Structure 1
Amino acid sequence: MSSNDTVVSVNNMSQRVQTLEGPLQILRDISFSIAAGESVAIVGASGSGKSTLLGLLAGLDTCTEGEVVLHGKRLQDLDEDQRAKLRAEKVGFVFQSFHLLPSLTALENVMMPLEIAGIENAEKTAEKWLKQVGLEERLTHTPRQLSGGEQQRVAIARAFATSPAILFADEPTGNLDRNTGAKIIDLLFSLNEQQGTTLVLVTHDEVLAQRCDRRLTLVEGKLQPEGQQ
């Protein structure tokens, strides 16, 4: 851990959504904090609320009760544009479903957030990260010309490319073979160690979870006491 500064703080946070059958409680009364440079695995059975929690931490949605504070900003106090600006400046996100733009090549998908952020040498930086994930031969391929595992690696390169202060990842090794998955895990923790990037990972991968400084275990939307699995 590189610093005692808190980058994520969650206080008495709950999340409900409306369904045809009425309100559904997804998360219940959750509180924790994450320090700068820390690596945290969010684990739990399918349906326990892991991906919902990750989206709330990144400001993709806002909670129905309590608060989430990201880099000193109370997310409920920000509108959608302000939350998007905060994510662009501080956050990298690897989605389970990739979220690549189908009309862009692998290189262009990685370049896009760099260009939006006004970062110089966007093409060179994007090429570097695609090479890091083993896709130097796929720069001009569009997502439909790539396998699921290759698309996942493009998404990971895109998230790394802006050197985010905090990286959220939803099952980053879920669509990868064992060798590629091991390489991605090494990349994640290299970024964590060399640049002090905070990692928050939803994962079923026990190898990945064990590499993290600690784990947060969700059971039916409730956070288990640390040390209790």
Structure 2
Amino acid sequence: MNTESKSITADRVGKLVKTSDGDLVILHDISFSIERGESVAIVGSSGSGKSTLLSLLAGLDVPSSGQIDLMGENLNLLDEDGRARLRGKSVGFVFQSFQLLPHLTALENVMLPLEIAGGSQAEARLAATKWLEKVGLDQRANHFPKTLSGGEQQRVALARAFINRPAILFADEPTGSLDEASGNRVIELLFELNRENSSTLVLVTHDPALAARCGRQLNLQGGCLV
């Protein structure tokens, strides 16, 4: 297998949590790989383990068993700081709840990843301005999140996720809390920015239309890949 062409490889991945009633198996024996530049939707009923799998693939959580390779790096061999560095270098993440910092303007929220990565403020401001233009929000750059609509906040989150031109973009229910018009706008932006950056797109969704836009679907049922 040519591992250099893979963005992500999951090998017999399992996740269980301890409860008062014993071990609860959330994911069982999950194996697949995703090529660089591919778009993949993780689908399944509520409680099937979709968001847990996404967190594991992004290195936000660690599996109980098995191995995940992200951009050729074995996540099992990295500590929390190591996984954070890898995410900072290679990963963008769009959360359903936007996760914008309320005390920062739209522009400052988008600047943040570049500043954390060590870029100058001037460099980050220029790049953030360009990305806000790309998502159609340059006129809202100095507005705080509470003054933006849900669709506008999600577009700010998209700009922030793409500002470092990540090799992989993870999105957890990116349209789940948006109205249809805002959701369609975000979907178009996801795939447009994905094509422009030749980045891998991995998303969790309940939306069949969004899943159908992806090149492939991974269907989870009861913590198993079917």
Same fold by TM (over 0.5)? Answer: yes
* 1:112-127 equivalent positions in 2, closer than 5 A: 112-119=112-119, 121-127=123-129
Provide structure 2 residue ranges, at least 5 long, that are not aligned to the other structure: none
The CA deviation at 1:196 is 1.2
Alignment pair present for 1:134 and 2:136: yes
Alignment pair present for 1:110 and 2:106: no
Alignment pair present for 1:175 and 2:155: no
Structure number with higher helix proportion: 2
Write out per-residue CA displacement over residues 4-39 of structure 1, whole angstroms, 9 at most, x where no aligned residue. Answer: 701100000000112233321100100000000000
Q: Which residue of 1 aligns with 2:209?
A: 207
* 1:30-179 equivalent positions in 2, closer than 5 A: 30-119=30-119, 121-179=123-181
Q: Which residue of 2 aligns with 1:191?
A: 193
Whole-Å separation in 2 of the counterparts to 1:95 and 1:124: 24
Contact 1:4 1:35 in 2 (8 A): no
Provide structure 1 residue ranges, at least 5 long, that are not aligned to the other structure: 225-229
Alpha-carbon RMSD: 1.7
Q: Which residue of 2 aligns with 1:227?
A: none
Whole-Å separation in 2 of the counterparts to 1:29 and 1:13: 5
Please, what TM-score do these two structures have when normalized by structure 2? Answer: 0.92
Please, what TM-score do these two structures have when normalized by structure 1? Answer: 0.91
Write out per-residue CA displacement over residues 88-109 of structure 1, whole angstroms, 9 at most, x where no aligned residue. Answer: 0000001122221121111111
Whole-Å separation in 2 of the counterparts to 1:155 and 1:18: 33
Contact 2:158 2:190 in 1 (8 A): no
Write out per-residue CA displacement over residues 186-225 of structure 1, whole angstroms, 9 at most, x where no aligned residue. Answer: 222222222210000101122211111100000011101x
Counterpart residue type for residue 224 of structure 2: K
Contact 1:54 1:170 in 2 (8 A): yes
Change (3 A) 1:143 1:114: same
Write out per-residue CA displacement over residues 91-134 of structure 1, whole angstroms, 9 at most, x where no aligned residue. Answer: 00011222211211111111000112234621122122223223
3-state SS, counterpart of residue 138 of structure 2: coil
Change (3 A) 1:21 1:150: farther
- What is the aligned residue count? 222
Seq. identity, %: 60
